[in-house]
Structure 1
Amino acid sequence: MCAAEARSPFCLEGLDLTGIPAAGPAGVEARIVTGTAVLRIMPFHGQAAAAGAALAPFGFTTLPAMGRFAEEGENRLAWAAGNCWHLISPRPAPALEQELKQALAGLAAVSSAGGGFLRLQISGTAACALMAKGCVLDLDRIEPGRSAVSLMAHTKLHLHRRADMGFDLLIPASHAASFWEWLAMSAAEFGLAVQTTAAAALEDRAPAPAALSA
């Protein structure tokens, strides 16, 4: 599926998603990623190591350490605060959930976030400047490969830093509209380019990054 074929999610329906022109190339690029499954993994007491090893069919052998994420093929595994990790994938959620429950039977509780998150990728030369306007974290301390649960623009979200100028955000769908309004207003000085892309198309365009060690 190409970017033009992906539909904007329901949580942004009715909002202006056309972006903001700039004199030159836009300093901020916002990619709305649709078709993303987010599954919560919560290991039972004393079973974290075994649960990580049981994820081998998905490309992982350990759960990432606190504040980190790893990628393998189409899947991303990210620490998501406390005793919780997210498996993020472009695969259909129902089938993926069943496979994950079978792999982690007796080791961890598994549940689907369904449509509970808006996935938004922020990149561009002014990405850090934009993020700093609303994020309470010191972004200089969050290197690529790290994740954090934090407040940004009065919204509690899950942040993954993919590159020096690239961030992946999981935003609660119930706060997506207000977050988008903040984003458009805050990015106005830099110029904002907007695309909507299916998660599967992201995998088609780029090679899978190597998994990060814990």
Structure 2
Amino acid sequence: MAVRISPSILSADFANLEAELGRISTADWAHVDVMDNHFVPNLTIGLPVVERLVQVSPVPVDVHLMIEQPDRWAPAFAEAGAASVTFHAEAVQAPVRLARELRRLGARAGVALRPATPFEPYVDLLAEVDMVLVMTVEPGFGGQPFLDGTLAKIRRVRAAVGAAGLDVWVQVDGGISAQTIERAADAGADTFVAGSAVYGAQDAAGRIAELRALAAAAHRHV
């Protein structure tokens, strides 16, 4: 099982985002959180900034939309060059139609679930998406502690992906650090969003390598 590390720029210095993206050039993705202060109680960046980040990022951009009306807004992020666009199951109106539109525009399509949102109603959506994002904290703010109660959901998602024989990534976002990544990997996650764990380190590249090694070791023990 491949390991992918996607540092979240939510923990970066917003006054120097191009340089901050350069710090994570050894990562697999750059995770960009878009929040509208409606779906979640926080406001971050919008489409024009994301479009510019795509142009300067040394790695593909993974956009996580924590917004209302993703059916209306998500395609524009794919058109702006995001390599992956994830919308929330709790906010989307027509998930199949939106996932197909994102793929048509050349982006990977992801569906995200809040910690309390059950996965089972979305099993039939697996064939339409490229990634399931299991939130391991309540969405909205960085730096929150990892919720161990989400591990069972990660296992259920991994089991469903395996049973369907699909190449769907299982991403986790929230509280991922050197202390928690092994538990998430052992449960079946393969794509890891880490914000403060990476950007809070003096050597971001070293921390990315450490996280990747810890997750890979956990996979070998599964």
Same fold at TM > 0.5 = no
Rg bigger for which structure? 1
TM-score, normalised relative to structure 2? 0.29
More helix, by proportion: 2
**Bigger relative contact order (CA 8 A; separation at least 6):** 1
Higher strand share: 1
